Each structure stands twice: as C-alpha cells, then as structure tokens.
C-alpha cells in the first residue's frame, strides 16, 4: 500500500495583480489539502471494497488524460500516467480524506480506459464481468465523471459510454480534457458542439496542465458527495 500523499483542490480567490495571485495560490494550498491513498485494484466484483463513503468514478478512452485529471485533483501522482494505452486493466480505488478528519470522505474509482482496437476483445470480456456491474449496481456510486478529449472528434466508443450512462440513470458529468491545447475561441466552439451532441450532459472544460476547471470539478464532486452523505444520514435516522 502506498503512503498517503498531499494535494489541493485549489479554491481560487478573485484577486487582481500577480503578486496577490501568487499569495492566493499558497493560501489555497494551505487551506484545501486532501489526503489520498490507494486502497484496492479489482478485476472482479468480489474484489470491490466494502461499500462505505460516496464514490466518484472516472471513465474515458485510453489516453484521454484520466490519470492526469485524478492526479491534478489530488495534487500528486496517485494514478499512473502512461504513454502505453490501456495499461490499467483493473478498477483502482483510492480513498480521499480531508486533513484532520479521521475517516475518508470519498472514494475515487479509476476505471480501465477503453477504445483501442487491439484491446477491444479484452474490453468486451471485462465490461460484463466487473465494469458494468460496478456502474449498474454499486450502491455508493454517487457520480460518474466521463472524460472526452476536446481535441479529438467524437468517437463511437464515447457515444456508447455516454448512451450507457444516460440509460443507467447514474448522475454523470462530461469533462472535456486537454482544454489548454485550444484557443479560447476554438474551445468555445468545441464545447458548443459537445453540448449539441450530448444535450443531457453537464459539461466542464478541464486542463490538468494549467489547472483550468479543477475548482469547478471539486465543487461538483463535493456537492454530490455531501448530498449523498446527507441522504444516507436521513435514511439512517428514519
């Protein structure tokens, strides 16, 4: 098991001037750290951790930038980034804790990347065995974060995933990765086009490189997790 490591959801402050901007970043780092720890890798339903706190699942094609998004959220190299597509064949679970709190608040579930021809046979075997059961039946799954590379034209595999999430009734968020590679104008056009293709999805542009979108994604994650935790408390009281 890896040692816990420190990161920051990085709540920004609207301050003018670069000196103040630097100050606000260091304040944010002091104020909003998270502790994260790898807890399990599952290739079978029997290996899933016992359901406990709300879970956030991260899904996307290989190379979409999924590991980079997870690492940028927690501020450390928790998930592996790799130039070898489809290397991660398990669901990897990480617990997320706020400093000073005794128990984890959240679990991040990093799902296997999909969509490369040479691994499509494996994928077709893996989905029914443990990925679909996870997405359909996991009682603590609170939010699916579906990642799409905003620089790449929409792929059939992405449409399939989004269709699956739509019909599963799961709350999901569509995160458009690598937004730093586009100009502001190009990004607006690309986001509009994604909105037209996936009208039901909540959309968020994201760059692990610059940190753009990180605060908004943390806000969504925390909101969903708090709602879920509140609902379980109410259920326990009744």
Give me the residues that bind ligand GDP (CB under 6 A), please.
Answer: 60, 62-68, 81-83, 113, 177-178, 180-181, 207-209
Of 72 and 224, nearer to ligand GDP (C-beta) is 72
Residues in the chain: 238
Looking up tokens 């607006």 gives 188
Of 167 and 185, nearer to ligand GDP (C-beta) is 185
Minimum Å gap between C-beta 17 and ligand GDP is 26
User: Cα separation of 83 and 87, whole Å?
Assistant: 9
Nearest CA among 77, 104, 67, 64 for reference residue 7 = 77
User: Cα separation of 69 and 61, whole Å?
Assistant: 13
Of 53 and 162, nearer to ligand GDP (C-beta) is 162
User: Cα separation of 89 and 131, whole Å?
Assistant: 10
Of 143 and 176, nearer to ligand GDP (C-beta) is 176
CB 79 within 8 A of CB 67: yes
Minimum Å gap between C-beta 149 and ligand GDP is 8
Minimum Å gap between C-beta 140 and ligand GDP is 23
Of 10 and 60, nearer to ligand GDP (C-beta) is 60
Minimum Å gap between C-beta 92 and ligand GDP is 11
User: Cα separation of 56 and 184, whole Å?
Assistant: 29
Structural element, H or E, at residue 166: helix 156-168
Of 20 and 41, nearer to ligand GDP (C-beta) is 41
Minimum Å gap between C-beta 15 and ligand GDP is 24
Minimum Å gap between C-beta 70 and ligand GDP is 8
Nearest CA among 114, 175, 185, 184 for reference residue 150 = 175
CB 113 within 8 A of CB 60: yes
Q: How far is CA 151 from CA 34, 37, 66, 170, 173, in A?
A: 30, 31, 15, 26, 18
């Amino acid at each position: 098991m890896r040692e816990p490591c420190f990161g920051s959801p990085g709540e920004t402050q609207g301050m003018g001037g670069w000196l103040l901007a630097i100050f606000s970043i260091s304040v944010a780092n002091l104020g909003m750290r998270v502790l994260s720890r790898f807890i399990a890798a599952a290739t079978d339903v029997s290996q899933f951790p016992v359901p406990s706190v709300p879970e956030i699942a991260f899904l996307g094609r290989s190379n979409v930038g999924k590991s980079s998004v997870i690492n940028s959220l927690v501020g450390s190299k928790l998930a592996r980034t790799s130039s070898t597509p489809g290397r991660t064949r398990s669901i990897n679970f990480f617990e997320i804790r706020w400093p000073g709190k005794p128990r984890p608040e959240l679990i991040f579930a990093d799902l296997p990347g999909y969509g490369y021809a040479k691994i499509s046979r494996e994928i077709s075997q893996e989905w029914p065995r443990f990925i679909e059961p996870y997405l359909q039946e996991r009682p603590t799954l609170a939010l699916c974060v579906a990642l799409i590379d905003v620089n790449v034209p929409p792929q059939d595999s992405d449409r399939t995933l989004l269709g699956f999430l739509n019909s599963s009734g799961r709350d999901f968020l569509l995160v458009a990765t690598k937004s730093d590679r586009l100009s502001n104008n190009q990004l607006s056009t690309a986001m509009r086009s994604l909105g037209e293709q996936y009208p039901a999805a909540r959309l968020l542009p994201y760059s692990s490189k610059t940190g753009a979108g990180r605060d908004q994604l943390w806000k969504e994650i925390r909101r969903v997790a708090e709602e879920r935790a509140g609902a379980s408390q109410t259920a326990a009281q009744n």
